[in-house]
Amino acid sequence: MSRFYLTTAIDYVNSRPHLGTAYEKITADVIARYKRLSGVTTRFLMGNDEHSQNVFRRARELGLEPLEYCNRMEQEFRGVWQALGISFDDFIRTTEPRHRVGVTWMVERIATAGDLYEGFYEGWYCVSCEAFKQEKDLVDGNCPIHRVRPEWIRERNHFFRLSKYRDALVSLFDRHPEFLLPDVRRNEILRLLEGGLEDISISRAGQAWGIPLPTDPSSAVYVWFDALINYASAVGLGDAHDARFAEWWPADLHVIGKDITRFHTVVWPAMLMSAGLELPRQVFGHGWVHLGGQKMSKSLGTTLDPAEVAGKFGADPLRLYLVKEIPYGQDGDFTWERYEERYNVDLANNLGNLVSRVAAMVDKYRGGRLGAPESSPDALASKASETVQVYRRAMDGFALHEAAAAAFRLVDAANEFIAQTEPWALARDPAQAGRLDAVLSGAVETVRIAAVLLLPVMPAAAAEILARMGENRPPASLRLDEDTTWRVEPERVVSKASALWPRAE
Ligand code: MSP
């Protein structure tokens, strides 16, 4: 049976999720839900990255023990993810014992492979990136991402022989062009590999907040080396590798932001090669969500609270906006004006209005019950089946925006069909009763299929629409193949209810 193991980046918890970090979780959730809808056994992992110096500092500012602070933040994160309808199957924290076991095992394996050595590190370190920086990376002496001056570090460190894996990585990218998507990200990494790789420091001397380096417990494992291992420790990496590891490793897809592709497609595969483990099959580096054209960042204070945005029209309109309006893989922008405009067009006027009209007409002309029609509108039925194909191709190629747009084109087609067939005129002529049945059933069926397609993007709203159209099976039991095939039901009970999305003025 096919299975799909999908992960997102794990978040630093020095502040609450913002719209940019939420974007990543929402898009990964769409992929997870699409896989489940396709009948694939899916495991969707998320989590928190806790051993960062910024987390430690934030806890201290608040007068809390770091772990106590992280416990509180876990609740904050889970609360936001729940409000956004994120359907993760597992949530890992890097302070959990299961993760420590995995990190310890992995570092020991890498040491046994001869890939760790002691050296001296002197150079810049940006705490917000949790990354070592070279002079040439800085702009006016500052980290170009966080616009703060990095710290100068001089310490004895343990190094990982990353340089040794350069050729193996080049060959990986050669053999598996699909390993890193989209292509712009792949090209960046190929250029980086062409320039050669330097070994990296993987420990921080004398640091108490972190996982002790098994080969030198006075040092902590460098937070990135620690964090990357979460994907494997969450499924049981460790001394005995429990049964889940055999079942779920390697991961099928890591969904991450474009700023951290180097860690995921250079450092992480090299670590796995060194430890003799299989490599993840694919990494997708999505773009950035900007706020009114400005970079969104915790450290710059230009962020938006996703729970607040979801509070305005609900989580599903926000999910739809982020998925449909931003070509997946590229950068995109959020402004309240544009958000409201799209809400009115796509939801209030288009999908919401369609659902209300169809239910109201079935109620008015047929008392809410439709029998089997004598015929189906062929053009609409073929539009639906063509849409399903376009949708599948788009989803399978991670063009999530195109998949959402395809579902909305089917909604447009249903609206046009109603405008052309004029059920209100048919209803005035008793001789047209059979035709009216066919038109109403065709409209209901099209709305039903569009709602199945929208389940991954707008899970709650699509479930509500399905229920109104008389689908009484639980959404989780629906399957893309069977349930997007045009149906002629012997009976449908359609219910009228209040507007799903009242127009925003
Ligand atoms: N903790 C590391 C990831 C470790 S994964 C082994 C980290 N954390 S983060 O909290 O800074 O970012 C979490 C994810 O959110 C990253 O994939 C990052 O690229 C993404 N984003 C952060 N800001 C973003 C936007 N403004 N827009 C889209 N994604 C953004 O990095």
Residue nearest to atom 5 of ligand 1 (CA): 9
Please give the distance, rounded to the nearest whole angstrom, from the Cα atom of residue 25 to the centre of ligand 1: 10
Dihedral, CA of residue 389, residue 393, residue 394 and residue 398, to nearest 10: 150
pLDDT at 132: 86
Can you tell me which atom of ligand 1 is nearest the CA of 227?
Answer: 6
The response to whether residue 251 sits with its C-beta less than 6 Å from ligand 1 reads no
Please give the distance, rounded to the nearest whole angstrom, from the Cα atom of residue 35 to the centre of ligand 1: 23
The response to whether residue 180 sits with its C-beta less than 6 Å from ligand 1 reads no
- Tokens, residue 265: 């497609």
Residue nearest to atom 24 of ligand 1 (CA): 20
The response to whether residue 268 sits with its C-beta less than 6 Å from ligand 1 reads no
- Tokens, residue 7: 């992960």
Sign of the torsion formed by the C-alpha atoms of 254, 259, 262 and 267: negative
Please give the distance, rounded to the nearest whole angstrom, from the Cα atom of residue 502 to the centre of ligand 1: 34
Strand-pair partners of 5: 43
Please give the distance, rounded to the nearest whole angstrom, from the Cα atom of residue 482 to the centre of ligand 1: 37
Neighbours of 257 (CB within 10 A): 18
Neighbours of 27 (CB within 10 A): 24
Q: Where are the beta strands (DSSP E) in 26-97?
A: 41-49, 90-93
Q: Give the 3-state secondary structure of residue 352.
A: helix
The response to whether residue 11 sits with its C-beta less than 6 Å from ligand 1 reads yes
Pocket residue to mutate for ligand 1, from 7, 11, 258, most atoms within 8 A of Cβ:
11
Angle made by CA atoms 250, 253, 258, in degrees to the nearest 5: 130
Can you tell me which atom of ligand 1 is nearest the CA of 11?
Answer: 10
Cα separation, 79 vs 16, in Å, equals 10
pLDDT at 121: 87
Residue nearest to atom 10 of ligand 1 (CA): 11
Please give the distance, rounded to the nearest whole angstrom, from the Cα atom of residue 295 to the centre of ligand 1: 13
Strand-pair partners of 359: none
The response to whether residue 9 sits with its C-beta less than 6 Å from ligand 1 reads yes
Cα separation, 2 vs 414, in Å, equals 34
Please give the distance, rounded to the nearest whole angstrom, from the Cα atom of residue 392 to the centre of ligand 1: 28
Percent of all residues in the chain with a pLDDT value above 90, rounded to a whole number: 90
pLDDT at 249: 97
Please give the distance, rounded to the nearest whole angstrom, from the Cα atom of residue 219 to the centre of ligand 1: 26
Please give the distance, rounded to the nearest whole angstrom, from the Cα atom of residue 11 to the centre of ligand 1: 6
Can you tell me which atom of ligand 1 is nearest the CA of 257?
Answer: 19
Rounded to the nearest angstrom, the gap between the alpha carbon of residue 479 and the centroid of all alpha carbons in its chain is 21
Task: Yes or no: say if 354 and 411 are a contact pair by the CB < 8 Å rule.
Answer: yes
Can you tell me which atom of ligand 1 is nearest the CA of 291?
Answer: 26
Cα separation, 417 vs 61, in Å, equals 61
Question: Taking Cα atoms as reference points, which of 397, 265, 240 lies closest to residue 327?
Answer: 397
Rounded to the nearest angstrom, the gap between the alpha carbon of residue 121 and the centroid of all alpha carbons in its chain is 36
Pocket residue to mutate for ligand 1, from 103, 237, 260, most atoms within 8 A of Cβ:
260
The response to whether residue 388 sits with its C-beta less than 6 Å from ligand 1 reads no
Domains of the chain: 335-493 (1.10.730.10)
Can you tell me which atom of ligand 1 is nearest the CA of 9?
Answer: 5
The response to whether residue 347 sits with its C-beta less than 6 Å from ligand 1 reads no
Cα separation, 448 vs 375, in Å, equals 18
Question: Taking Cα atoms as reference points, which of 114, 102, 111, 122 lies closest to residue 216?
Answer: 111
- Tokens, residue 297: 């960042």
Tell me which DSSP letter residue 487 carries: -
The response to whether residue 49 sits with its C-beta less than 6 Å from ligand 1 reads yes
Looking from the CA of 275 toward its CB, the CA atoms found within 13 Å total 24
Please give the distance, rounded to the nearest whole angstrom, from the Cα atom of residue 476 to the centre of ligand 1: 29
The response to whether residue 454 sits with its C-beta less than 6 Å from ligand 1 reads no
Low-confidence ranges of the chain (pLDDT < 70): 1, 241, 298-299
The response to whether residue 61 sits with its C-beta less than 6 Å from ligand 1 reads no
Instruction: Tell me the one-letter amino acid at 35.
Output: K
- What are the phi and psi torsion angles at 14 (to 5°)? -75, -15
Three-class SS string for 360-420?
HHHHHHHCCEEECCCCCCHHHHHHHHHHHHHHHHHHHCCCHHHHHHHHHHHHHHHHHHHHH
**Edge-to-edge strand list for the sheet holding 294-295:** 294-295, 289-291, 332-334
Q: Give the 3-state secondary structure of residue 140.
A: coil
Can you tell me which atom of ligand 1 is nearest the CA of 264?
Answer: 6
Please give the distance, rounded to the nearest whole angstrom, from the Cα atom of residue 479 to the centre of ligand 1: 32
Instruction: Quote the pTM value.
Output: 0.96
Task: Yes or no: say if 280 and 265 are a contact pair by the CB < 8 Å rule.
Answer: no
Can you tell me which atom of ligand 1 is nearest the CA of 289?
Answer: 27
Please give the distance, rounded to the nearest whole angstrom, from the Cα atom of residue 54 to the centre of ligand 1: 14
Residue nearest to atom 13 of ligand 1 (CA): 11
